[in-house]
A and B are shown apart, each in its own frame.
Chain A
Amino acid sequence: KQEVTQIPAALSVPEGENLVLNCSFTDSAIYNLQWFRQDPGKGLTSLLLIQSSQREQTSGRLNASLDKSSGRSTLYIAASQPGDSATYLCAVKSGGSYIPTFGRGTSLIVHP
């Protein structure tokens, strides 16, 4: 059974810092990995999707990498802003499964 862990559970940083969020998974036979953002009281918004054949994806100040052999993905946020404050979740879809497995998220606060 796939298990997804996100570390740290919570993070508080000053504005302008570059930061890294981690996502690890136990079964490396994945189909894809997706990073989401969730604002308080809202639904999930997709940030980046990495297919199993890819090593990274970039969107603006966000960069997500994937290392299947070590069972890890990182979400890099450059020059963090207060508007980046949210919970970030990763979800892994295993090969041959319709069901994604979610981590519990990292709660990020960027203070001015």
Chain B
Amino acid sequence: NAGVTQTPKFRVLKTGQSMTLLCAQDMNHEYMYWYRQDPGMGLRLIHYSVGEGTTAKGEVPDGYNVSRLKKQNFLLGLESAAPSQTSVYFCASSAIQAEGSGNKETQYFGPGTRLLVL
């Protein structure tokens, strides 16, 4: 299993340009998440999805859109990039697994995409 993969690994954009970040997971997980990580701010949730065809806003959704057309993919779009969107973007996935002592849910993260907006 590849786990969670992200494409691209690094990108430089000019202000106003658009791009799409791709996240793919091969673990058949229901839940997928997009975070951004900035120095001093920690991890902040942008959008998330609890299943194919569903999306929901997280803590910092403005300026981003997402789509979950297929269960294994979660796309993050920037329609008009701004310097404030310079960050490292992480995708994660999880699923609830039944165990003897109850349900268990572990998040698995991708390697990240570094985005620089000039």
Task: Judge whether B105 and A93 touch: CB under 8 Å.
Answer: yes
Q: Is B27 on the interface with A (CB-CB < 8 A)?
A: no
The residue that A99 contacts in the complex, of B58, B102, B106, with Cβ under 8 A, is B58
Task: Judge whether A51 and B109 touch: CB under 8 Å.
Answer: no
The residue that B45 contacts in the complex, of A32, A41, A99, with Cβ under 8 A, is A99
Which of chain A's residues 89-105 have a Cβ closer than 8 Å to chain B?
89, 91, 93, 98-100, 102-105
Q: Is A81 on the interface with B (CB-CB < 8 A)?
A: no
Q: Is A34 on the interface with B (CB-CB < 8 A)?
A: yes
**In the complex, what's the smallest C-beta–C-beta distance from B102 to chain A, in angstroms?**
6
Task: Judge whether B106 and A34 touch: CB under 8 Å.
Answer: yes
Most chain A beta carbons < 10 A, residue from B31, B41, B43, B45: B43
Which of chain B's residues 31-87 have a Cβ closer than 8 Å to chain A?
31, 40-43, 45, 48, 50, 56, 58-59
Task: Judge whether A43 and B112 touch: CB under 8 Å.
Answer: yes
Contacts of A99 in B (CB 8 A): 45, 48, 58-59
Which of chain B's residues 75-118 have a Cβ closer than 8 Å to chain A?
90, 92, 101-112
5 A–B contacts from the bound complex (CB under 8 Å):
A31-B105, A43-B4, A46-B109, A53-B101, A91-B107
